[in-house]
Amino acid sequence: MQVSVLGCGRWGSFLAWYANKVGHNVILWGRSGSGNYNELYENRKNEYLTLPEEIHLTNSLDEAVNLSEIIIISISAQQLRSFTKQLSEIPAIQNKIIVLCMKGLEESSGKRLSQVVKEELGASTKVAVWLGPGHVQDYLQGIPNCMVIGSEDIEVTKTVVNTFNSDLIRFYYGQDMIGNEIGAATKNVVGIAAGMLDGLNLSSLKGALMARGTREISRLVRAVGGNDITIYGLSHLGDYEATLFSVNSHNRKFGEDFVKNQDFKKLAEGVATIKAMLQLSEQYDIELPICNALFQVIYEKKDASQTLVDLFLRPVKFEF
């Protein structure tokens, strides 16, 4: 197939590399003037990988959309709405399968990313999500993992899975868009909490964090209309090892650096997702203690150690 990847950061460049590896013709798009794009254009490599020569680099969005059957988007979640407004000006986008390989919720509204795409491109747009565990660094070393593809159209799900399935990434069919998207976005928030516990030498509480985090998010998914069991699948609990423990996790590292008063210069999607979750908490009247604690620490500058200890050592109550 002809595949275009829109976005050339860590994941975008890997997805282009991977789509090429499994046998497709690949176009990789980046913004003109983007540091990531310029580095790849000048050197054919970045800090993670070297792009095969067969991958065509372009900063023409029209070219990337018009020439491909499947369009993978991998950019910052908070830029998605403005980006899809740009895409809506390209008529050919209506005939493509759009695959969102990104994890987040719209900060201002709490909306899922597939909702954002359909609002901007139309309700009939064929949208799939590509979610689950795995780090670029591990995949590039040949370490396999499992991920999930989901869409409201099962034929779109099957097409995307059949197009990208390989021995390196084993895909499962997603059955619950709401649960998978919310689960993938919110695991980044739990990852920030895990990093804070690491930075405060409270890593022994990460077991409690995992237990309470899954319960908290499952209640949210059920309230929004998804299947609460989805949270125990690949998009959320299945991604905990990669997000709560790995040295390659941006969200975990952000949390650790935050409590150590160190600057973190890479993208941690979970920071914006905290505000999005509070939107959903208010809209659906759902208590989100972990999310609230992180908001107090990051945005209200409350003491991290005391806030997190208080979170887990609350008054005695029944576990379930």
pLDDT band at 313, cuts 50/70/90?
Answer: confident
Which of 95, 39, 106, 44 lies closest to 65 in space, CA to CA? 95
Q: In this structure, which CATH number among 1.10.1040.10, 1.10.1750.10, 3.40.190.10, 3.40.50.720 belongs to the domain 178-312?
A: 1.10.1040.10
Identity at 188, one-letter amino acid code: N
44-65 pLDDT, tens digit per residue, is 999 999 999 999 999 999 999 9
Give the pLDDT score at 312. Answer: 86
Please tell me the distance from the alpha carbon of residue 34 to that of residue 22, in angstroms, as a whole number: 27
Residue 263 has pLDDT above 90, yes or no: yes
187 is catalytic: yes
Q: How many CB atoms lie within 10 A of CB 241?
A: 13
- Average pLDDT of the residues in 34-40: 95
Residues 11, 101 contacting (CB under 8 angstroms): yes
Instruction: Label each residue of 200-211 as H, E or C.
Output: CCCHHHHHHHHH
State how far the alpha carbon of 53 is from the alpha carbons of 20, 49, 63, 87, 308, in Å: 10, 13, 18, 27, 49
Give the pLDDT score at 9. Answer: 95
Residue 316 has pLDDT above 70, yes or no: no
* Domain ranges, ordered by start, for the chain: 2-173, 178-312
220-238 pLDDT, tens digit per residue, is 999 999 999 999 999 999 9
125-175 pLDDT, tens digit per residue, is 999 999 999 999 999 999 999 999 999 999 999 999 999 999 999 999 999
Q: Which of 118, 187, 206, 253 is catalytic?
A: 187
Residue 306 has pLDDT above 70, yes or no: yes
Q: HSE of 266 in the Cβ direction (CA atoms, 13 Å)? A: 13
Q: HSE of 285 in the Cβ direction (CA atoms, 13 Å)? A: 0
68-124 pLDDT, tens digit per residue, is 999 999 999 999 999 999 999 999 999 999 999 999 999 999 999 999 999 999 999
Percent of the chain scoring above 70 in pLDDT? 98
Which residues contact residue 113 at a Cβ distance below 8 angstroms, ignoring those fewer than 6 apart?
77, 80, 100, 102, 104, 105, 106, 129, 181
CA–CA–CA angle 84, 86, 87 (5° rounding) = 60
- Average pLDDT of the residues in 19-24: 98
State how far the alpha carbon of 57 is from the alpha carbons of 60, 63, 66, 140, 275, in Å: 9, 10, 14, 20, 35
Q: How many CB atoms lie within 10 A of CB 169?
A: 17
Architecture label for domain 2-173: 3-Layer(aba) Sandwich (3.40)
The rounded radius of gyration (Å) of the Cα atoms in the chain is: 19
Pairing verdict, β 126-131 and 145-151 = antiparallel
